[in-house]
Chains A and B, each alone.
Chain A
Amino acid sequence: MTDIQQAAPLLRVNDIHVYYGAIHAIKGISLEVYENEIVTLIGANGAGKTTTLNTIAGLLKPRQGTIELNGTPIQGVGASKMVFQGLALCPEGRRIFQQMTVKENLEMGAFSRPNTEIEGSLEEMFQRFPRLKEREKQIAGTLSGGEQQMLAMARALMSRPKLLMLDEPSMGLAPILVEQIFDIITELHEGGATILLVEQNAQMALRVANRAYVMETGLITMQGPAEELLHNDAVQKAYLGS
C-alpha cells in the first residue's frame, strides 16, 4: 500500500467545485488514485459521487480546481477526448446502447482504438464474460439487468483504460450477481487494473478496495485505508447498518 504511494498518483483531483446552475453540488473535494489501486468513493444518496465521476470523465466542467491524469491537466478537455487519455467511465444506470447488438456495443467501447486491435480485445471480453459471447448478436436492450451491467463494464474495458471508473455497478442486482460483479472487480485488480469505484454497497466496496473516501453533501468527510473505514464506528453507523 504505502509503497504504491511513493510514486506520483495516476489521478489527482484537487479542490474541485461543481455546480448545476445555482446548486453547488461539489464543494471542493480532493482525491488521488495511485496505479494498481482500487479506491472507493462511498456516501449516501445525493452526496455527489456521480457528479464527481462525471466531472472527472469530462461530462461536467468544474468551476474551480484541477484534475490531473498522469500529471497532465484534463479538466475542461471534454468527455470525448478522455478515453484517448486512458480514462473510461462505466456510467450510473449502465447506459449501454439499447438498440445496438452486444457486439456493436463492445466495438463502440473500442472507438478510440485502431480497428486492427478490436478483434483481440473482443475475444478477451468474451472470455471474461462468457454470457456476452452467447448473446453476441442479441440487441442489448433485451438483455437482463445483470447482463447489461456486464456489457457496460466490458464496453468500458474495451478502450483498455489506464483508469477504470465504475459508478454503482451493483445497482439493482440480485445478491448473487453483486458477488459476481465484485469478483470481476477483484480479478481486474489482480490483472493490474486501476479502479475508482462508486458504490452504495459500502460493505462490499470496502472489502475489495485498498483505500476509501466517504462523501457527504459535496464534501469528503473521511478517508483512509478501506480496512480501517470498514471497522470505523461512524462509517458502520452511517453506511453499514450496524
Chain B
Amino acid sequence: MTAFLRFLINGVSLGSVYAIIALGYTMVYGIAKMLNFAHGDVIMVGAYISYCGMQYWGVPPVASILTAMVVCTVLGITIEGLAYRPLRQAASLAVLITAIGMSYLLQNVALMIWGANPKTFPQTFINGASLNVGDMSISSATIITILANVLIMVALTLFTAKTKMGKAMRCVSEDRGAAELMGINVNRTISVTFAIGSALAAIAGVLLCSSYPILQPTTGSMPGIKAFTAAVFGGIGSIPGAMLGGVLLGVIEIFGKAYISTELGDAIVFAVLIVVLLVKPSGLLGKPMREKV
C-alpha cells in the first residue's frame, strides 16, 4: 500500500512536469496551428541557465530560475519571429521540418556552450528536504512540482478566461480571420503565446532537474516528446487537456515501470496513447476538429 501510494505520488509529480511542458505545445498548437518540436529543448536551455546561475554566477536559486524564465521567454519569441513567422503561409510540413531543425540547432548550440558531459543539477530549496508521512518519505521536489502545476493551471485558466489578451488568444485559436476583424493583432498574440509557453518550459526544466538531476544537451528531448504525447492524449489545443494528459501519462509511466516492466515503461506509455486515440481521436478533452481552409 505504501509502495502504491509512493508510485502514485511520484507519477503525479512526474506527470506535473509533463503537464507544464504540454501546456507549451498545446497553446502554441491551438493558436499558431503548428507543432513546435523545439519546445522540449527550450526546457533544456532553461535548466542550463538556472544551473549556470547557481553554479557559476553565484545567483540565488529563485533569481536563477527567474533569469532562466526571462532567457527562455526571449528565446521563444526569437524562435517564433525568426523561424516560424516567415512561414506563416507555408505548408505545415515545411513548418514542422523547421521546428525539428530548430530543435537540433538548440541541442547543438548547447553542446558547444556546455559540452557533452552531463552536469549534476545542484540541490536547492526545491529538492533540499523531504516530508515523512507514516513510513513514507516524500521529497520536497515532488510536492513543489505538484503545487507548481496546480498554480500554473489556475493562473492560465484565469488568464484565458478573464484578460483581454487571454480572450484574444481564444479568438485567434478559433478563427484567425475573424479575430483580425475584431482588431486583434495575430502576430503579437502568437508571440505572447510563445513567451508564456517558453517561460513555463524554464520552470519545467528546473522542476525536472530537481527530481532527475542529470543535465545534458539532450535532457529536453524525451520529456518533450512525452509532453507532446500528453498534449495529444488530453486533446491538443485544450489547456485542461494538457493537465489531465500530463498527469495521467506520468502515473501510467511510473506504474508501468513499477508493476509491468522497467525497460518497457516508455513503450507502455505510447501503447496507452494509441489505444486512447483509436477510441477518441481528438484526445480525452479535445473537441472534434473542424478543418478550416
Contacts and interface: CB of A to CB of B under 8 A. Distances in A.
Nearest to A113: B183
B167 A104 contact: yes
A111 B168 contact: yes
Contacts of B180: 58-59, 78-80
Interface stretch (A6-14, A82-90, A177-185): A82-90
Interface stretch (B43-51, B129-137, B171-179, B263-271): B171-179
A108 B182 contact: yes
Contact of B177 (A82, A84, A91, A98): A91
Contacts of B184: 80, 108, 111
A99 interface: yes
A97 B183 contact: no
Interface in A87-109: 88-89, 91, 95-100, 104, 107-109
B157 interface: no
Nearest to A152: B178
Interface in B125-177: 164, 167-168, 170-171, 174-175, 177
A83 B175 contact: no
Interface of chain B: mostly helix, strand, loop or mixed: helix
B186 interface: yes
B90 interface: no
Contact of B183 (A84, A98, A104, A115): A84
B261 interface: no
Interface residues of B, number: 18
Q: Give the size range of A's interface with the partner.
A: 20 to 34
Contacts of A163: none
A109 B171 CA distance: 11
A33 interface: no
B286 to A, nearest CB: 12
A112 B183 contact: yes
Contacts of A91: 177-178, 181
Given A59-B177, A79-B180, A97-B178, A108 B185 contact: no
17 contacts: A59-B177, A59-B180, A59-B181, A79-B180, A80-B182, A80-B183, A80-B186, A81-B183, A84-B183, A91-B177, A95-B175, A95-B181, A97-B178, A100-B170, A100-B171, A108-B167, A109-B182
Interface of B: 164, 167-168, 170-171, 174-175, 177-186, 287
Q: Which 10 A-B pairs have CB atoms at the shortest separation, nearest pair first?
A: A112-B183, A79-B180, A83-B183, A95-B178, A111-B182, A80-B180, A111-B183, A108-B182, A80-B185, A97-B174
Given A59-B181, A79-B180, 16 more contacts: A79-B181, A80-B182, A82-B181, A83-B182, A83-B183, A97-B171, A99-B170, A100-B170, A107-B167, A108-B168, A108-B171, A109-B182, A111-B182, A111-B184, A115-B164, A159-B182
